[in-house]
Amino acid sequence: MIGFSCPPLSCRPFQEAAERILPHFELWEIVSEADHFLPDIEAQIRELLETTHLRLSVHAPYSVVNLAAFDERTRRFSVKVLCDTVETAGRLGIGPVTVHPGVLGPIQRYDCGRAVRLTGQGLGEIAETADDCGVQVCLENMPDMKACICKTAAEMREMLDTVDMGMCFDIGHANTMGQIPELLEMAKDFANIHVHDNDGTGDQHRPLGKGNIDFSVLKRISYWGNHIIEAATADMEEALAGKLYLQGVIG
């Protein structure tokens, strides 16, 4: 199923955001940030599920957490926030829940190995929580940015070999790394796909067809899950154009 996700919408009232999406999509990946932090709007989500046709998946918080934090209090807070999101998704019966790995801050860059190990520990705890809640959780590959880890197929494989979760394949991120073919070889692990365009030089989140990504490669893998259009703006005309574009490419 083709769905829609838009981080800026998380700064708008939940009902307003839902009303923008309802006429155009059957699937919404909620970004659990700002006014849409899942535990804070659980009742509103439940009402939406009970009164509309909309299906929901979740993008876990990423702006206020860091699984690679060297300060244990910060790391524990990050794990708790992410586990709280997973537990809420479990109570609501929605998913999958996509999570980001940790990030390399100014200090973590001096010891990347430690940052990767701490990320793996945190993801392991999240995976255990997800298993207890019956929620599918997937780790997203990151773009070519200095602060990011888990950017290449080799890095993703190393991490996923240590934690029991699926993978969210972000084709836009993969394009910035020149890693689309390599990451597609991990298709058996895919539990979600994020779709947006760029010219390969940065994580631009352009509308589909406005970059250089060949989305037809998505037809060549065995995958039956969701394709989520990740939009940089809440322009629904643009989102619908992307939906039609993607339908034409993947059928």
Domain hosting residue 102, numbered range? 2-250
Asked whether the predicted pLDDT for residue 221 surpasses 80, the reply is yes
Q: What is the 3-state secondary structure (H, E, C) of 29-59?
A: EEECCHHHCHHHCHHHHHHHHHHCCCEEEEE
pLDDT of residue 39: 98
User: What pLDDT does 9 receive?
Assistant: 97
Q: What is the pLDDT of residue 155?
A: 98
Distance CA 64, CA 197 (A): 26
CA atoms of 89 and 41, how far apart (whole Å): 11
pLDDT band at 242 (very low <50, low <70, confident <90, very high): very high
Residue the block writes with tokens 């709007």 = 41
Q: Considering its fold, how many domains does the chain have in total?
A: 1
Mean pLDDT of 15-39: 97
Which CATH number is 46's domain given? 3.20.20.150
Task: Give the CA-trace dihedral at 94, 63, 121, 225, to 10 degrees.
Answer: 30
- Interacting residues of 197 by C-beta distance below 8 A, sequence separation 6+: 172, 204, 205, 206, 207, 208, 209, 210, 211, 212, 213
Per-residue pLDDT, 164? 93
Q: Where are the alpha helices (DSSP H) in 30-170?
A: 42-51, 72-92, 112-133, 153-160
> What is the chain's mean pLDDT, rounded?
97
Label residue 251 by pLDDT band (50, 70, 90): confident
Sort strands 190-195 and 166-170 into parallel, antiparallel or unpaired: parallel
80-110 pLDDT per residue, tens: 999 999 999 999 999 999 999 999 999 999 9
pLDDT band at 21 (very low <50, low <70, confident <90, very high): very high
What is the SS3 assignment for 230? Answer: strand
pLDDT tens-digit map of 139-181: 999 999 999 999 999 999 999 999 999 999 999 999 999 999 9
- Sequence-distant (≥ 6) Cβ neighbours of residue 158 within 8 angstroms: 116
At a CB cut-off of 8 Å and minimum separation 6, what does 77 contact?
65
pLDDT at position 122 is 98
- Cβ neighbours of residue 103 closer than 8 Å, sequence gap 6 or more: 66, 68, 147, 148, 149
Threshold 0.85, pTM exceeds: yes
Beta 55-59 vs 190-195: how paired, if at all?
A: unpaired
What single-letter amino acid sits at 222? Answer: S
**How many DSSP H helices and E strands does the chain contain?**
8, 8
